[in-house]
Structure 1
Amino acid sequence: MPFKLDFKWLHTVRWKFLAAALASAALTAVILWAFYLLAHILITVPLLTGTMASVINRFGSVPVLVVLGGASFLFFYFLFSRGTIRRLEQLDDALRDMANGNLGAGALPPLRDELGQAAGSIDRLSRRLREYLERITAGLQALASGRFEYRIEVDRSYGDLAVIAESINAMAEQLDRSIRDERHAEKTKNDLITGVSHDLRTPLTSILGFLEVIEQDRYKDEVELRHYVNIAYEKSRALKKLIDDLFEYTRIGGGMPLAWTSLDLTGLLRQLAEEFVPSLEKASMSCRLSAPEAPLVIEADGNLLVRAFENLMTNAIAHGSTSPYVDIDIDRQEEIAVIRVVNYGDPIPAGDLPFIFDRFYRGDRSRTSGGTGLGLAIVKSIAEVHGGRVSARSDRSRTVFEIALPVARRS
Structure 2
Amino acid sequence: MTSHGNTHSLTWRVSPDLLGIVNQDGVFIETNPAWQTVLGWSEDEIRSMVFTDFLHPDDMERTIALFGTMKKGEPALHFENQYRCKDGSYRWLSWVAVPEGDIFVCSARDVTRDKAQARALQSSEDEALLREQFIAILSHDLRNPLAAIGSAVRIAARQPHDETIAKMLASIQGSSARMAKLIDYTMDFARARLGGGIPVDLQPCNTLSDGFERVVDEIRLTFPERQIETAFAFEGTLVCDAPRLDQLLSNLVANAVTHGSRNKPILVATGAEGECFVLSVTNPGKRIPDNILSNLFKPFERGDESASLQGLGLGLYIADQIAKAHSGQISATSDGDNTVFRLEIPLQQPS
TM-score in terms of structure 1 length: 0.44
Q: Aligned partner of 2:336: which letter? A: R
**Is 1:355 the counterpart of 2:295 in the alignment?**
yes
* Secondary structure of 1:369's aligned partner: coil
Residue 261 of structure 1 aligns with which residue? Answer: 203
- Post-superposition shift, 1:328? 3.3
SS in 1 for 2:113: coil
What corresponds to 1:319 in structure 2? Answer: 259
1:183 corresponds to = 124
Match of 1:401 among 331, 334, 341: 341
CA distance in 2, matches of 1:224, 1:333: 53
Call closer, same or farther: CA 1:397–1:230 in 2, change over 3 Å: same
- Match in the other structure for 1:146: 113
Structure 2 residue 345 is the aligned partner of structure 1 residue 378: no
- Distance verdict in 2 for CA 1:404–1:142, change over 3 Å: farther
- The letter of the residue matching 2:297 is F
**Residues 325 and 343 of structure 1 are in contact (CA less than 8 Å); yes or no, is this contact kept in structure 2?**
yes
Instruction: Return the alpha-carbon distance in structure 2 between the equivalents of residues 192 and 395 of structure 1.
Output: 40
Q: Distance in 2 between matches of 1:136 and 1:401?
A: 57
For residues 180 and 338 of structure 1, the distance between their equivalents in structure 2, rounded to whole angstroms, comes to 40
- Which of the residues 180, 193, 209 maps onto 1:240? 180
| Alignment partners' CA distance in 1, 2:109 and 2:303 | 42
One-letter code aligned to 1:317: V
Deviation, structure 1 residue 127: 5.3
Partner of 2:200, secondary structure, is coil
> TM-score, normalization: structure 2?
0.50
Counterpart residue number, 1:66: none
Classify 1:284/1:224 alpha carbon distance in 2 versus 1 (closer, same or farther; 3 Å): closer
Q: Deviations over 1:182-233 (max 9, x none)?
A: 7367358659979x99xxxxxx9xxxxxxxxxxxxxxxxx766665555444
Q: Which has the higher strand share?
A: 2
The offset of 1:250, in angstroms, is 3.2
Q: Is the 8 A contact 2:276 2:347 kept in 1?
A: yes
Question: Higher helix proportion, which one?
Answer: 1
Cα distance in 2, alignment partners of residues 310 and 261 from structure 1 = 20
Is the CA contact 2:259–2:285 (under 8 Å) kept in the aligned structure 1?
A: yes
Q: Do the aligned partners of residues 124 and 329 (structure 1) sit closer, same or farther apart at CA in structure 2, a change above 3 Å counting? A: farther
Verify the 8 A CA contact 2:211 2:246 in the aligned structure 1. no
Say which of 216, 219, 222 aligns to 1:276.
216
The residue identity in structure 2 corresponding to 1:381 is Q
For residues 146-166 of structure 1, give each alpha carbon's deviation from its aligned partner in whole angstroms, at most 9, with x where no partner exists.
3489xxxxxxxxxxxxxxxxx
Q: Does the Cα contact within 8 Å between 2:279 and 2:344 map onto a contact in 1?
A: yes
Decide which moves more: 134-143 or 236-245. Answer: 134-143
**Which structure has the bigger radius of gyration?**
1
Distance apart, 1:381 and its partner CA: 1.8
In structure 1, the gaps of 5 or more residues are: 1-107, 110-119, 150-174, 198-203, 205-221
Write the distance in 2 (CA, Å) between the matches of 1:392 and 1:367: 21
In 1, the alpha carbon distance for the partners of 2:133 and 2:302 equals 14
Structure 2 Cα separation of the partners of residues 335 and 237 of structure 1: 38
Q: Residues 337, 127 of structure 1: CA spacing in aligned structure 2 closer, same or farther, 3 A cutoff?
A: farther
Deviation at 1:327, TM superposition (A): 2.4
Secondary structure of 1:409's partner?
coil
Contact 1:369 1:376 survives alignment (8 Å): no
Is the contact made by 1:273 and 1:287 (CA closer than 8 Å) also made in structure 2?
A: no
2:231 to 289, 308, 311: 289
Hey, what's the Cα distance between the residues in 1 that align with 2:129 and 2:308?
19
Flag the 1:328–1:300 CA change in 2: closer, same or farther, 3 A.
same
Amino acid aligned to 1:407: L
**Retained in 2: the 8 A contact 1:340–1:403?**
yes
Tell me the residue number matched to 2:190.
Answer: 250
The alpha-carbon deviation at position 379 of structure 1 amounts to: 0.9
Q: Residue 249 of structure 2 corresponds to which residue in structure 1?
A: 309
CA contact (8 A) 1:367 1:373 kept: no
Secondary structure of 1:283's partner?
Answer: coil
User: Superposed, which structure 2 residues align to 1:122-161 within 5 Å?
Assistant: 123=4, 144-147=111-114
- Going from structure 1 to structure 2, the CA distance change for 1:237 and 1:298 (only over 3 Å counts) comes to closer
